[in-house]
Every structure is written in C-alpha cells, then in structure tokens.
C-alpha cells in the first residue's frame, strides 16, 4: 500500500469518528468544511481537465448544500432560516452554471458565500445557545 492510499484511509476513518460523536452544531461545521473542500477539488479538477473528477466533486458539493438546505427548520428558524434557504438555492443554481459559463468563477463565488456562513457559524457559542433553545 502506498503512502497516499494509507493517508486517504486514515483521513476517512478520522472523519467517520468525528461525525459519529458530533452534535448538530458540529455536523453543520463539518458539512460546510466538506463543501468548501469539494469546491477546491472541483476547481483543481476543472483546471486540469479531469471531467469525471470534476463532475463527482461538483455533485458532492451540491449534495452537501442540498442537505444543509433540507435540514433548515423554517418555522423555528424564522427569517434567518428563510434567508439561508434562499442562499442555498442560489448556490446550487450558481454551481450549475459552471458548465455553461465554462469558468470556475461560479465555484469561487459559492466558496466565498460558504466561507462567510462558516465563519459566522464558527463564532456561535453553541453551549450558551443550547441553554436558550
């Protein structure tokens, strides 16, 4: 087994362990980070002309964003959840433009939006919030 395969297997086990013990706040953080990772992979694959890898990474990114969107509680989340719902919808539509625009600019735009959401999410003191919710 070469070292790259071993590292990939180690990372997969490490991610599984982290997900199994995560609360909902941490899961959202992991999903946002995962979407950003997939976008970075897709951008590199697009630039290298790796069409199958690009399609797979793009599909995974859209799947993650769709999962985040479907987890929103629009009743309890109010205006914030509604805004996120619209933003996630926009991101998915933007990602689908990569092929028609023949550019990685939509990937960059969505990565920027996800980074802003993740930065805000990372600042939430979930332990304090849990006492209120």
Tokens 């087994």 label which residue? Answer: 1
Tokens of 10: 């180690």
pLDDT by 10s per residue, the chain, length 133: 544 443 344 344 344 444 455 578 889 899 999 999 999 999 999 999 999 999 999 999 999 999 999 999 888 888 988 999 999 999 999 999 987 888 899 999 999 999 999 999 888 866 655 544 4
Q: Flag whether 58 is in a domain.
A: yes
Q: Flag whether 92 is in a domain.
A: yes
Cα-based angle 74, 40, 126 (whole degrees, multiple of 5): 40
Q: For position 98, which CATH number holds? A: 1.20.120.340
Q: Flag whether 51 is in a domain.
A: yes
Structural domains in the chain (count) = 1
């Amino acid at each position: 087994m070469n070292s790259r395969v071993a590292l990939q297997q180690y990372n997969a086990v490490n991610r599984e362990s982290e997900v199994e013990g995560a609360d909902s706040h941490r899961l959202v953080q992991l999903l946002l980070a995962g979407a950003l990772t997939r976008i970075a992979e897709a951008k590199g694959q697009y630039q290298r002309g790796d069409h199958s890898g690009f399609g797979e990474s793009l599909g995974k990114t859209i799947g993650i964003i769709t999962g985040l969107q479907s987890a929103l509680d629009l009743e309890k989340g109010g205006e914030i959840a509604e805004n996120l719902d619209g933003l996630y919808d926009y991101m998915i539509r933007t990602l689908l433009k990569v092929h028609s625009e023949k550019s990685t600019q939509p990937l960059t735009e969505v990565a920027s939006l996800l980074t802003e959401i993740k930065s805000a999410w990372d600042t939430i003191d979930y332990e304090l919030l849990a006492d209120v919710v």
